[in-house]
Chains A and B, each alone.
Chain A
Amino acid sequence: MPSVVIEAGIIGTYTPYAIQGFEALQVGPLNDSVAIPSTVVSGDCDLDDYAELGGRMP
């Protein structure tokens, strides 16, 4: 998994972050979960590996 650490301008220490750009997303039908590989992750801050899409409220 790619790992990047940046310095936080605010507090002057390492800033864990996770951030997502949807490069490899597949979308399924109603209420499917879709795999979204995290692309930039560091420290103990992370995105879940999937998103849930659904609803279709009347």
Chain B
Amino acid sequence: MADDAEVYQKTVDDRTIILGPRSYYMQGFKAPQWMDLRVGFFLSITDVTLDDSTTGALAETIAIPGGHRIMAGSNRYWIGIRNKGTTIPTGNDATFVGFTNRYTIGRDWMGDTVLSSSDGGVGTTNTNFWRPNNSAKPWYSFMMLDSIPRGSGGRSGAALAQHFPQSAAQVATGYAVLLGIRLTRDHPDSRVITAYVKSTDDSADMLYSNAPTKELIRDTIIGWPDSQVIGPSQLIHVPDAFYFYWPFTKSRLRIHSVGVLKAA
């Protein structure tokens, strides 16, 4: 049986995890008594067999069952933070805050899971990036969830789309995208949490880099950018772990670095 992940030396300074297809990564963290918590992660995707190939036949559609039947959580993508646990964060024991294409209201019966070739809204070739999305609505892109949706991004404004660089020529600034989430609460024991996600032109991308280091995460999330606000929402659990799951079979998720910062 193939491993669930491998390590790939992308550059001298970048030793990255490549998740196996439809496998998860979970790493807990400790940030007790936070009132302003910030997380960031440098990610990219590659071919299902080639460790460093962002072009080619990566586009994919995972169809909704239809007939109002529920889409399996394992057929959505999950990139963010949750309470410690390794299950797909759709069950009663899971709280998740992060990027996903799950339908944002009630039962998850709306929209295919799609990996699209995209220009990120800034080009015309439509080959600059890969963009995971829900075929029903582009703004099904960020959620606060604990078994049922508690809050979602994009509904009254721009989508919080994530763009994974595809064309090294067109995205010369970097092969990895930095995504991040800021959480705040009024006191350290509260479970009423507000999320902030960088938002510009329907994109949540914070930056792209060819040097996706932990130091660059730290330096970026210290000064949090203009954001879309999600919540406040009362959650069952307080997130204390990174969680990444990529549902596609023609591409794999690469994790270059992660960081958590307790600003208050």
A42 → B minimal CB distance (Å): 10
Does B260 reach chain A (CB closer than 8 Å)? yes
Within 8 A of B (CB), among A33-49: 36, 39-40, 43-48
Which residues of B lie under 8 Å from residue A52 when comparing CB positions? 24-27, 86
Within 8 A of A (CB), among B1-52: 1, 3-7, 15-17, 19-33, 36
How many residues on the A side are at the interface (Cβ–Cβ under 8 A)? 40
Stretch at the interface among B146-154, B197-205, B213-221: B213-221
Q: Which residues of A contact B (CB under 8 A)?
A: 6, 8-11, 15-23, 25-32, 36, 39-40, 43-48, 50-58
Complex-state Cα separation, A58 to B75, whole angstroms: 10
> What secondary structure prevails in chain A residues at the interface with B?
loop
Stretch at the interface among B89-97, B103-111, B171-179, B251-259: B251-259
Contacts A25-B15, A52-B86, A56-B22; A20 near B30 (Cβ below 8 A): no
Complex-state Cα separation, A20 to B214, whole angstroms: 6
Which residues of A lie under 8 Å from residue B17 when comparing CB positions? 22, 25, 27, 53
Contacts A8-B263, A56-B23; A45 near B1 (Cβ below 8 A): no
Complex-state Cα separation, A44 to B24, whole angstroms: 27
Contact B7 A45, beta carbon cutoff 8 Å: no
Contact A27 B28, beta carbon cutoff 8 Å: no
Q: Which residues of B contact A (CB under 8 A)?
A: 1, 3-7, 15-17, 19-33, 36, 72, 74, 86, 88, 213-215, 217-218, 222-224, 241, 245, 247, 255-264
Which residues of A lie under 8 Å from residue B217 when comparing CB positions? 19
Known A19-B261, A27-B5, A48-B30; 19 more pairs at CB < 8 Å: A11-B264, A16-B31, A19-B217, A20-B259, A21-B256, A22-B15, A22-B17, A23-B15, A26-B7, A32-B4, A45-B261, A45-B262, A51-B26, A51-B27, A53-B24, A54-B23, A55-B74, A55-B86, A58-B22
Q: Which of A28, A32, A46, A54 contacts B29 (CB 8 A)?
A: A46
Ordered nearest first, which 3 A-B pairs have the shortest CB separation?
A: A19-B259, A57-B74, A48-B28
Complex-state Cα separation, A54 to B245, whole angstroms: 10
Complex-state Cα separation, A21 to B23, whole angstroms: 20
Contact A21 B263, beta carbon cutoff 8 Å: no
Q: Which of B19, B36, B86, B260 contacts A18 (CB 8 A)?
A: B260
Which residues of A lie under 8 Å from residue B74 when comparing CB positions? 55, 57-58
Which residues of B lie under 8 Å from residue A6 when comparing CB positions? 218, 222
Q: Which of B4, B19, B30 contacts A45 (CB 8 A)?
A: B30
Complex-state Cα separation, A43 to B260, whole angstroms: 12
Contact B32 A47, beta carbon cutoff 8 Å: no
Can you name 10 A-B pairs with beta carbons within 8 Å? A10-B222, A15-B222, A20-B258, A45-B30, A45-B262, A47-B29, A54-B86, A55-B74, A57-B72, A57-B247
